[in-house]
């Protein structure tokens, strides 16, 4: 598919679109290192950011988290002004998390390769095993706190009819039959929409109209403040990008997600169906 139909398709680029811009963008491969070594898009730099999460969204840890992210971006050669394309094997959670973080830090041209390496291969484009030298640059970005939900925001949202919490995890996590933290269940009032439901069978984004219908049918509408969450704000970053492209003006990805909420004794948690 293309990005047609989205109110603001700023976060995606097709394989053909990336091919046209190859000399003008910094390309980041966020897949595991073994996948990168087996073959990657020419010129891509490797940065596996998976596992860089935050378990405490109070102010000091939040500040330290973004200081660390900026330092890592700089070490990987990601600057503030150069256009960046991030990819994994599909329009996946890793690439979405990278693009979302870049956007939160004020980068004006960070995109996800729609369909990832699968789309690149299907377009008849080649891979290489040649490494790319990485030169450290400066990354000065400042976090946009309006794009981030902390646990304090989530506590307020539970009783706020103008907010919708979206649990993007697997159904087993939502229902509490799969344990990935000290406590299981979901945040009270959450709507469950598995993040992969807005991807097609090839791992690319579904047409905008279908995605909008999916979310609006569950009460996730543009007039509300939407707070997606998952385990570590990767899958929910994907949802956040999609809602942003649909034109939703108030989307706040819960950065701590279940890794924070489910490991605290003071969090409000329910088990659906009980």
Model confidence pLDDT, tens digit, residues 41-82: 999 999 998 888 999 999 999 999 999 999 999 998 898 889
Mean pLDDT of the chain: 95
Q: Is the confidence at residue 172, as pLDDT, over 50?
A: yes
Closest by CA to 47, choosing from 63, 22, 62, 29, is 29
pLDDT band at residue 7 under the 50/70/90 scheme: confident
Q: Which residues of the chain form CATH 3.40.250.10?
A: 12-122, 145-261
Burial status of residue 112 (CB atoms within 10 A of its CB: 0-12, 13-18, 19 or more): buried
Average pLDDT in the 199-218 region? 96
- Kindly state the percentage of the chain with pLDDT values over 70: 98
Burial status of residue 217 (CB atoms within 10 A of its CB: 0-12, 13-18, 19 or more): exposed
3-state secondary structure of 118: helix
What's the confidence (pLDDT) of residue 4? Answer: 61
pTM: 0.95
Q: Is the confidence at residue 27, as pLDDT, over 60?
A: yes
Higher pLDDT, 82 or 193: 193
d(Cα 173, Cα 79) in Å, to the nearest integer?
37
| CATH architecture, domain defined by 12-122 | 3-Layer(aba) Sandwich (3.40)
pLDDT band at residue 273 under the 50/70/90 scheme: confident
Length of the chain: 274
State residue 40 phi and psi, 5-degree precision: -145, 170
> CB atoms < 10 A from the CB of 18, how many?
21
Domain 145-261 -> CATH class: alpha beta
d(Cα 218, Cα 196) in Å, to the nearest integer?
15
Burial status of residue 146 (CB atoms within 10 A of its CB: 0-12, 13-18, 19 or more): exposed
Average pLDDT in the 174-201 region? 97
Residue corresponding to tokens 């942003």: 244
Average pLDDT in the 119-142 region? 91
Q: Is the confidence at residue 1, as pLDDT, over 80?
A: no
- As beta bridge partners, residue 45 has 28
């Amino acid at each position: 598919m293309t990005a047609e139909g989205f109110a603001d398709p700023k976060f995606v680029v097709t394989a053909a679109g990336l091919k046209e811009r190859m000399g003008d963008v910094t390309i980041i491969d966020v897949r595991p290192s073994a996948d990168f070594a087996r073959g990657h898009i020419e010129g891509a730099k490797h940065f596996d950011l998976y596992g860089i999460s935050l378990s405490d969204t109070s102010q000091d840890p939040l500040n330290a988290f973004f200081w660390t992210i900026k330092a890592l971006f700089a070490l990987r050669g990601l600057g503030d002004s150069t256009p960046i394309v991030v990819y994994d094997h599909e329009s996946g959670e890793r690439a979405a998390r990278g693009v979302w973080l870049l956007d939160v830090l004020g980068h004006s041209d960070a995109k996800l390769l729609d369909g990832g390496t699968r789309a690149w291969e299907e377009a008849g484009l080649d891979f290489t095993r040649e490494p790319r030298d990485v030169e450290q640059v400066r990354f000065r970005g400042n976090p946009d706190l309006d794009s981030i939900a902390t646990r304090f925001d989530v506590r307020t949202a539970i009783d706020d009819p103008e907010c919708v919490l979206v649990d993007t995890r697997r159904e087993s996590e939502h229902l509490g039959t799969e344990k990935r933290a000290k406590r299981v269940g979901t945040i009270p009032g959450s709507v469950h929409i598995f993040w992969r439901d807005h991807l097609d069978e090839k791992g690319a984004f579904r047409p905008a109209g279908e995605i909008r219908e999916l979310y609006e049918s569950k009460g996730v509408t543009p007039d509300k403040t939407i707070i997606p969450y998952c385990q570590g704000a990767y899958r929910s970053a994907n949802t956040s990008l999609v809602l942003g492209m649909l034109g939703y003006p108030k989307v706040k990805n819960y950065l701590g997600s279940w890794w924070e909420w489910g490991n605290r004794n003071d969090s409000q948690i329910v088990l659906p169906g009980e």
